[in-house]
Amino acid sequence: MPTLPVGYPRGDGHAARRPLRDTPVSGEFHWWLIIVGILAGGALTWLVMAESTRRDSEIGERELDAEAGWIAGAVDDPLVDAEVAARVLRAHRRYLGFPPPDALVAPDELVALEREHAATGDPVGLPREGLDRR
């Protein structure tokens, strides 16, 4: 069948139509689909990769007591009961409220550093090689 110009009536009484792929609107629509697809893919990736862990500041006092009971049961040690675990959790919450330390010191070195500080009167109380320089 020969190709008829657009708008010329075919044998069945209908006018010939231009194929959809040749219209400029179709190209713009494809770009719009690409942009929407990229945005939807980015949003989905963010939802999957987002950090959903809870922070200590989100845990209320009632939940802290429930967490302490869970820790006491999970540790399964007679020395750790819910009251001890709650005190540790509250101490940890206070610790997180402090500014970050200038230097990290092992707990067994603290006594020696305190003695050295008392003997020398050094206001810092840390040896020069113990400082964490950034």
Predicted TM-score of the model (pTM)? 0.44
State how far the Cα of 86 lies from the Cα of 17, in Å rounded to an integer: 77
State how far the Cα of 110 lies from the Cα of 113, in Å rounded to an integer: 5
Q: What is the pLDDT of residue 101?
A: 78
Instruction: Give residue-wise pLDDT tens across range 35-85.
Output: 999 999 999 999 888 877 777 778 888 898 999 999 999 988 888 899 999
Instruction: Give residue-wise pLDDT tens across range 8-28.
Output: 555 665 655 655 555 556 777
Q: Coil, strand, or helix at residue 15?
A: strand
Q: Where are the domains of the chain?
A: 56-98, 105-134
| Confidence bin at 116 (pLDDT 50/70/90) | confident
> What DSSP line would sit under 28-70, residue for residue?
HHHHHHHHHHHHHHHHHHHHHHS-----GGG--HHHHHHHHHH
State how far the Cα of 41 lies from the Cα of 97, in Å rounded to an integer: 38
